[in-house]
Structure 1
Amino acid sequence: MNLGGPISAEPRINDRIRVPEVRLVGPDGQQVGIVSIQDALRLAQESDLDLVEIAPTSRPPVAKLMDYGKFKYESAMKAREARKNQAHTIIKEMKLRPKIDPHDYETKKGHVVRFLNAGDKVKITIMFRGREQSRPELGRRLLDRLASDVEELGFVEFAPKQDGRNMIMVLGPRKKKVDAMAEARAAKAARAAQSGRDADAEAPAETDQAAEIDETTENVGSAEETAE
């Protein structure tokens, strides 16, 4: 039976630190030395900072003077950014028939190329029907062909294997997922920048056209005045 309360991952701060003395670290990382908890709390109050226990298992525990609210905020932002940039390799699946026609093959291959370029694995499944099951070499030949066609982008991570009515092969990307994500972000930024440049380039042309219309109007007006 658990009689204790929930274990908190938060460090103890200020008067929650119940030890007689601590090894104190200043706000800039300087070593202050071993001081009594009363002196450490007094220094924290005078500096308008918090006393935070950063190494509770040390003897004596290590505590640091810091702005704990700011520290928590910055830590949360760093964790959020790390999750944002975390690369998760996804397994995509592509299904083919042993007697696929050339056009469909090129279309399917294009999808495989796109998946590998994005840093994802691709599970290729050859589906056999009826009498096709007696000719597994057709599926193996097709898988070997596909692996050869995309060898610059991917490699055979799981060799072709018969699985009931299907034959399966897994291709792994040569490009790391994190690199693919970085390239995608850079390409998006480049497209946005190019769009902005195109918009700026069109603006003067419109201005020049308006100026030409004004000039033409003025010339017509002058001609009418002369005619009068």
Structure 2
Amino acid sequence: MGIVPLERALQLAADVDLDLVEVAPMARPPVCKLMDFGKFKYESALKAREARRNQQQTVIKEMKLRPKIDPHDYATKKGHVVRFLKQGDKVKVTIMFRGREQSRPELGYRLLTRLSDEVAELGVVESAPKQDGRNMIMVLAPTRKPVLKPTKGDEDGYEGGDVDETVADVTDEVVPEA
């Protein structure tokens, strides 16, 4: 219809028994349509619901360590971190310092860098190790890595067959990420 005065637009809407709906209020001049307002509200609610459904939910798991951790305990905790990263969850690794351990933050830093190097094929460091009071914190995020499918004739099942992208579906504790 082009640019029409407000009174004329309202008259046109009344003539065809529809509502005058402002679609883009920030535009100059504002954009309006002749339509059923109930139908417009319903369709916009559907779009909003679909956008929320498609929003990815991020789960953050936490693993707590001490600077003087036993090698077996370290291996166990590293196994948990590997499992979380394989599930597609982010992992917040916290090293808790007590007493005189606080004067040696390099112990915690070395432990965190060792852990990040050992799980480098599964996850990347999202936030570098940083001291936060008595704790040192690092966040690991999963990487999307191609997975090799087994092919026939290979004794261990993998011969470098087709490449398939892995995609993480996350539905536990939620932290919305836009």
**Fold similarity call, TM over 0.5:** yes
Counterpart of 2:67 in 1: which secondary structure?
A: coil
Paired with 1:183 and 1:158, the residues of 2 have a C-alpha distance of: 20
Q: Which has the higher helix share?
A: 1
Amino acid at match of 2:121: E
Normalising by structure 2, report the TM-score. 0.59
Give the alignment of 1:134-213 within 5 angstroms. Answer: 136-175=105-144, 183-184=168-169
**Distance of aligned partners of 1:33 and 1:133 in 2 relative to their CA distance in 1, 3 Å threshold:** closer
Amino acid at match of 1:184: D
Range 74-83 or range 103-112, more displaced:
103-112
Greater Rg, structure 1 or structure 2?
1
Q: Which has the higher strand share?
A: 2
Counterpart of 1:100 in 2: which secondary structure?
A: coil
Task: Name the counterpart of 2:56.
Answer: 87
Please state if 1:58 is matched with 2:52: no
Please state if 1:49 is matched with 2:23: no
Counterpart of 1:107 in 2: which secondary structure?
A: helix
**Distance of aligned partners of 1:138 and 1:46 in 2 relative to their CA distance in 1, 3 Å threshold:** same
What value does the CA root-mean-square deviation take over the aligned residues? 3.4
Shift of 1:98: 2.9
Shift of 1:75: 0.7
Counterpart of 1:144 in 2: which secondary structure?
A: helix
Shift of 1:143: 1.5
Task: Name the counterpart of 2:155.
Answer: none
Normalising by structure 1, report the TM-score. 0.49
Paired with 1:55 and 1:77, the residues of 2 have a C-alpha distance of: 18
Paired with 2:72 and 2:130, the residues of 1 have a C-alpha distance of: 25
Q: Any idea what the Cα deviations from partners look like across 1:71-130, whole Å, max 9, x if unmatched? A: 111111211222233235454321112343444333322332344445554332222345
Shift of 1:147: 0.3
Paired with 1:72 and 1:142, the residues of 2 have a C-alpha distance of: 55
- What is the aligned length? 147
Paired with 1:143 and 1:133, the residues of 2 have a C-alpha distance of: 15
**Distance of aligned partners of 1:85 and 1:115 in 2 relative to their CA distance in 1, 3 Å threshold:** farther
Structure 1: unaligned runs, 5 residues or longer: 1-31, 176-181, 186-228
Query: After TM superposition, which residue ranges in structure 1, 4 or more long, deviate above 6 angstroms?
Result: none
Structure 2: unaligned runs, 5 residues or longer: 145-166, 171-178
